[in-house]
Structure 1
Amino acid sequence: MLNWFNNLDTILQTAIISLITSITIMVLTWIIGILKDRYSLNYKLKKEYEFSQRKKLKEEIAKNKMPLLNSIEELNYRVYNLNINLNKGWLNISEHNWFINEQYFLNSSIYRMLEFWYWIIKTERDTISIDSTIADDEDILFLTYIKTFKNIFCDAEILKELGYNSSQDTNHFFKNDLETYGNWLIENDKLIGFEEFKTKLKLNYVGYKKVIEYWTSIKDIDSDKNLNAMRAFHLISINFLNKFGHNYQKTNTKKIKILTKSYNTKLKIKSGFKDFLIKNKLDKEMKYIMKELNKN
């Protein structure tokens, strides 16, 4: 097959080989160039997309971060205050007396919970359309806390050690209702203050009766279901504020040890709480507090 080539003059053979080599190199160079350009463009577009999504996520988190931190701090401090003053019965108020006199502790507790839910749901809603799968670790952790806070008062299984049945709804909330609860604080696109809230609540509390009863049903016994959920929130909020809050919002190690020592016997849902943290991907983040909580 190659006899014709072998019979050619050596100079001509060399010229043909050189021509074929040049054409081959040219074609390969063209193909490689196309592939390189295509890969470079895809790579560039990928990097631009990732940068824009990370930037957008950080911007949305930053918009809500300060009021969110403050709402968590306020509810956190309310649970702390509740623990200290449980025996005073400030929340043990019948429906007939809900709006007689100031009832500051009850009204402010409800306000703080609704405000907490508002900022949790708003933060989730404002970031949900952004691709968080490519977010940096700190932002992913922040969003994990947001999901956990949304779930903490809605997870019936966390109360399983207290014999709570998930088919009941007396001691937990439905997640789909949280946005409605939180948005009740909005008037003319603004969050209303505590004084306006008190008036609004007094005039129309029927749709929010469950939130009021959640607080007024808390008893000074460690097996109280709502109280246990509050204490679980308390521990998570401390860890969250220590990670993302200002210095004045952080709890030092000494106070954490005192609190967890107290909760060692008072928290009756340790197993459910542990499972809850695992389910919400916060078990590693909460490792220190859980270790202190379970010390003998």
Structure 2
Amino acid sequence: MRKELLDLLLSPTNLLGAATVSVLVTATVNYFFKRRENRHKAALDYEYEQKKASRELIARYKGRILREAVQMTGRQRNLYSNWKNGWMSKTPSVGGDGYYFTSTVYRFLSLYTLLHEADSEAILLDTDIAQKTDYAFLKYLTVMRWVMTDVNLFDGLQYDSSKSSDHFFSDDLRVCTKPCWLEGKVVTYDKFRAEQFVAVSTLPILDFFDGLQKSENRYRWDRLVALHLILAAYINKFGYDLQHATNKDIRGIAEQVQHRVILENLIAGLERHRLSRDSTIKNLIREMRKVINGP
């Protein structure tokens, strides 16, 4: 019996079959592992390219947005002391050249032009792969756009959200920035000043800032203060030490708000954008709450 079994196993037919099975099994196993290896490599390549694209985007825009944020916040601090002078008028006073108004609008548009250009490129990025610091940058950009366009900032106040008197419709704001982007950069101040009043697309921006006063019965002043707070946080997050706002500075900005409920709404907006866990935003919220709660 044993001899017959041995002869059967050693017969040429069975040896050929065993060899065939071995080849098929080996090929199948190799194919399986090779396919898994290729999928893994493709995933790694995709992740690498996405991280590279994210870093390149930030390299192109972070510094330029920082520069414009510093310029805009500098003008806002100056405005807090000079709003009574009547300089925020698109019709220059007798003997005036309208520089203050025009340069304020230019700083705002320069900032939002860069924000929209960065946003248009960021659409192609996979935020699930972005590194923590890269993702934080993208979220700051999002909230900077939100703070000028979302009517939720005025929750609890009497405001007609169907009219863009003290806020901008998102698409309209984007259109307003288009003339300010030329050959991959923001137009110069001289070019902007020469063409601003003939560019129909920028008229909503001019109208928004025209006649701006702290004491007016409107909410646009408070919206701009909310923007100032977000810009201060951005500068503290990504700027140099000498550019940082102190906690006292932040409280001073927040105290410019005429309707404290807007600070509450700003905090709620930061939480919805999942920025409340960011250390810089945490500090911003803490200082705003001190102003909300009073001495």
Q: The TM-score by the shorter chain falls in which range?
A: 0.7 to 0.9
- Secondary structure of 1:162 counterpart: coil
* Counterpart for residue 136 of structure 1: 131
Superposition pairs of residues 31-70 of structure 1, within 5 angstroms = 31-70=28-67
Q: Does 1:232 align with 2:229?
A: no
Q: Does 1:73 align with 2:101?
A: no
The answer (yes or no) to whether the contact 2:139–2:273 under 8 Å persists in 1 is yes
Instruction: Kindly tell me the number of residue pairs found equivalent between the two proteins.
Output: 286
**Pick from 249, 252, 262: which aligns with 2:243?**
249
Q: Deviations over 1:249-269 (max 9, x none)?
A: 322344335544x35876441
Q: Give TM-score, length-normalised by structure 2.
A: 0.84
Instruction: List alignment gaps of at least 5 residues for structure 1.
Output: 1-5
Identity %: 22
* Counterpart for residue 156 of structure 2: 161
The answer (yes or no) to whether the contact 2:247–2:287 under 8 Å persists in 1 is no
- Secondary structure of 2:208 counterpart: helix
Structure 2 CA distance for partners of 1:164 and 1:256, relative to 1, 3 Å:
same
* Counterpart for residue 3 of structure 1: none
Find the aligned partners of 1:189 and 1:255 in 2 and give their Cα distance. Answer: 34
Q: Deviations over 1:188-235 (max 9, x none)?
A: 665332223222224x15543321221124222386411111111111
Q: Give TM-score, length-normalised by structure 1.
A: 0.83
Superposition pairs of residues 1-296 of structure 1, within 5 angstroms = 9=4, 11-12=6-7, 27-91=24-88, 93=89, 96-97=91-92, 101-187=96-182, 190-202=185-197, 204=198, 206-221=200-215, 224-260=218-254, 262-263=255-256, 267-285=260-278, 286-295=281-290, 296=293
Of 105-114 and 55-64, the range deviating more from structure 2:
55-64
Instruction: List alignment gaps of at least 5 residues for structure 2.
Output: none
Of 160-169 and 66-75, the range deviating more from structure 2:
160-169
Structure 2 CA distance for partners of 1:273 and 1:253, relative to 1, 3 Å:
closer
Q: Deviations over 1:18-74 (max 9, x none)?
A: 969887666544332221111011101110111011102211221122221111221
The answer (yes or no) to whether the contact 1:223–1:268 under 8 Å persists in 2 is no
| Backbone CA RMSD of aligned residues | 2.9
Structure 2 CA distance for partners of 1:96 and 1:242, relative to 1, 3 Å:
closer
The answer (yes or no) to whether the contact 1:50–1:134 under 8 Å persists in 2 is yes
Deviation for aligned residue 1:282: 2.0
**AA matched with 2:228:** H
Find the aligned partners of 1:114 and 1:99 in 2 and give their Cα distance. Answer: 26
The answer (yes or no) to whether the contact 2:222–2:258 under 8 Å persists in 1 is no
Structure 2 CA distance for partners of 1:266 and 1:225, relative to 1, 3 Å:
closer
Deviation for aligned residue 1:84: 2.5
The answer (yes or no) to whether the contact 2:235–2:244 under 8 Å persists in 1 is yes
- Secondary structure of 1:171 counterpart: coil
Structure 2 CA distance for partners of 1:267 and 1:212, relative to 1, 3 Å:
farther
